[in-house]
Structure formats: C-alpha cells, structure tokens
Structure 1
Amino acid sequence: LEDRVVIIDIYGFGLAVNILPSSALVKKIGQECSLFCHLAVRENSLELYGFDTAEELKFFEILISISGIGPKGAMNILTQANPETIRQAVIQNNSDYLVKIAGLGKKTANKLIMELKDTITDDERGCLLEDEETISALKSLGFTLKESCSALEKIKDKNISVEEKIKIALRDLGNR
C-alpha cells in the first residue's frame, strides 16, 4: 500500500499492518515472519501496528498512553528516534531534543519525560550520567543502553580512560 504499511497473508487472509520504515520485515517480502502487534480500536476503524521487538511494542504502548500522542504520532516518533535515544533524552531531561521530533510540542515533550522517567531504572540513569561518552561509543557499535550499563557495572576501576572502559566492556559483551 505504502512504505509504512505491509500486507501480511495469514492463510489467505490479508491484514494491513503499519510498521516502522526501519523494520526488518521490509526485507522479508514473501518470507515467513513474526511481529509483535498492537490493535488500535477506534470508533470506526481497527488498525494493526507491528514491531520487530517486544521492546518497541512496549515503548509504542507507553507513548500512546500519554495524552496528546496517538498511534500515528507514536509511529512518527519511533520513525525518527529509537527507544534507546528517547530514553537517553528522558534521563538527561532533554525536552529540546524531543521537541525536534515532528509532532511534539514543548508541553507534550515534558509530559513524555514525566511519563517515561518511571520506566528507567536508577542503575541505567546513574550509568548514563557517569559514563555518557563510553555508552555513546558502545551504542554506536550496536549495543543497547541496558547491555552497555551491565558491562560497565562490572568494571571495578572507575578511574580508567574511556578507551579502556570500552575495551573491557567489549570483552565482556563479546563473552555473552
């Protein structure tokens, strides 16, 4: 139908599912696939939203629970920033970054920060504030905030250089 909607054939019954442009499903045309889905029920329509991971689905559901953000707005937010990036903005109270995301005003960005603060653990918050540069490097290598924080927690000597922290964390992450 369009670049954000795919038709999924379930035993000859086609379902239109809204997906993120970054979805791995885009590359699986004609192949078997599985999605984590949310059914949005409206007065005169039913719409399916599909995600590659349970984390994306959970984040989508948190976003749509915030007053002023509907399913289309949540998809727009997740198209422009992944959950990890948004979580970092929340930890840093960076509403300016969230405002740059299309469809979010200052008020909604602040609401988003307030709602999401409860979903972030103290360990993640502390880890990000302590080791922001190291985490940024690990994220650019494809690791999540949770994985990065877990690896950094195991480093005993906190006074070593960022480069050393990255080396140690990569060794730990490679052994999982």
Structure 2
Amino acid sequence: MVYWLFIVGYTYRMWYSITGEVQEKKKGFFVLLVNGLGYKIYTNTNTLGVVDGKTTVYTHIHVREDAFDIFGFLTEETLLLFEMLISVSGVGPKTALGILDLDNVSNLTAIILEKRADILSRASGIGKKTAERIILELHTKMKEFGVVESTGNHDVRNEVEEVLVNLGYIRAVARKTAQEAKGDTIEERLRNALRSIGTNR
C-alpha cells in the first residue's frame, strides 16, 4: 500500500517558507541567499542532493538554549513528517533527518502504519526500541492528521529489495533498483531489477 500525508497544520511556524537562490552546499546543509542574506538551512542528504538554483523550502525553526537552527525541505509533506518524528521522545533533528533518507514520504508513512520497525531501525542512530517507539507514537497521530490510503506497490518494492540484498547486492543499490524497476508482481519487478543491474555493470 502507498500512503499520502495531507497537510492540516501541525505546528506553529514563524517562517512557513523561504524562497531564494541556493548559493552553496556543505555537508548537512545548504546556504539559501535571500536579498543579500544567506540562510543556513539544515536538511537531509536526499534533499541536499537535488536542491539547486532558485527554490522554495518549507521550514522548521529549532530553538535550543545555545542555537537557533533552520531546517528546510522541498515539500510540505516532508516537513510535516520531520516535525512528527522530532515530536517522539528521544528523536532529535539529526535522527529524523536520517530516517527521511531511508525512503520517500509516502513509503516512510506506509512503513510506520504497517509497523515495520525492522526497516526504520536501518536509519543511523535508530535501534529497535526507538523504532518501536516511533511507530507506537506516530501510528495513531498520522491517522489523525489525514493519512489517505491509495493503491500502490510498496510491499512489492520492499520484497524485491530484500531479495537483491540476499543475493549479495549492497542495500543502497538494491533499494534504488527496486524503486526504479517496473512490474506489478514481485517476479516481474525482480526480473527487471536484475536485468537493470546487469546492464549497468
């Protein structure tokens, strides 16, 4: 199944979004230039890889005693999931960013709703107990905040990924190939995935 998060307003934001030009990228953040002022925007690795040029980012302001950090994402859905994750006890921004790098928002939502602690625990800094706590706290909350189910093949992709890993392919390659391979059944998608890997060697 594939799930979609719809925005209904999760937390108060001083800055809802910022639009500017990406000036430079560093490890873990990028600089967004707005009217001569460069904003340091922390984000996850997947977002950092694609953000470029003139762009709008949806922001979360994380205030601590010794810091005032801005986290930014390209979609409101990603921001909402980030804010849900950091609302869980023991999950800070760095850990939440690691979870966001596991998959896209739709699939991560499905992983939580389907109670797949084994997948969540693959994120850096996430053990089995933390993964189970995230599922426990967010499972009901996601439904309250408008998760809509639609047809999809998340389970098929996940099964193909696991088969590829068992065949000896590294996790990153297996996940990317399983996501991109076509097919409505595990057999079709696996066949196309193996063909794709063979072609790209």
| Structure-1 residue corresponding to 2:78 | 56
**Which residue is equivalent to 2:97?**
75
Q: What is the aligned partner in structure 2 of residue 113 from structure 1?
A: 135
Counterpart AA for 1:46: F
TM-score (norm 1): 0.65
Identity score, percent: 28
Counterpart of 1:124, as a letter, is: E
Cα pair 1:87 1:116 within 8 Å, conserved:
no
1:124 paired to 2:149: yes
Q: Which has the higher contact order (CA 8 A, sep 6+)?
A: 2
Q: Specify the code of the residue in structure 1 equivalent to 2:28.
A: R
Query: TM-score, structure 2 length as denominator?
Result: 0.58
Unaligned runs of 5+ in 1: 142-161, 164-176
Q: How many residues align?
A: 139
CA distance in 2 between counterparts of 1:100 and 1:91 reads 17
Residue in 2 that maps onto 1:95: 117
Output the CA distance in 2 between the equivalents of 1:76 and 1:107.
16
Structure 1 residues 124, 102: CA separation in 2 closer, same or farther (over 3 Å shift)? same
Tell me if the contact between 2:30 and 2:48 (Cα under 8 Å) persists in the aligned partners.
Answer: no
Structure with greater proportional strand content? 2
Aligned-pair distance for 1:42? Answer: 0.4
Is there any run of 5+ residues in structure 2 with no aligned partner, and where?
1-24, 161-177, 186-201
Which structure shows the bigger proportion of residues in helix conformation?
A: 1
Instruction: Tell me by how many angstroms 1:123 deviates.
Output: 6.1
- CA RMSD of superposed structures (Å): 3.2
Secondary structure of 1:34's aligned partner: strand
Residue 26 (structure 1) shift:
4.1
Q: Which residue is 2:43 aligned to?
A: 19
**CA, structure 1 residues 4+110, in 2 after alignment: closer, same or farther (shift >3 Å)?**
same
In 1, Cα distance between equivalents of 2:45 and 2:106: 17
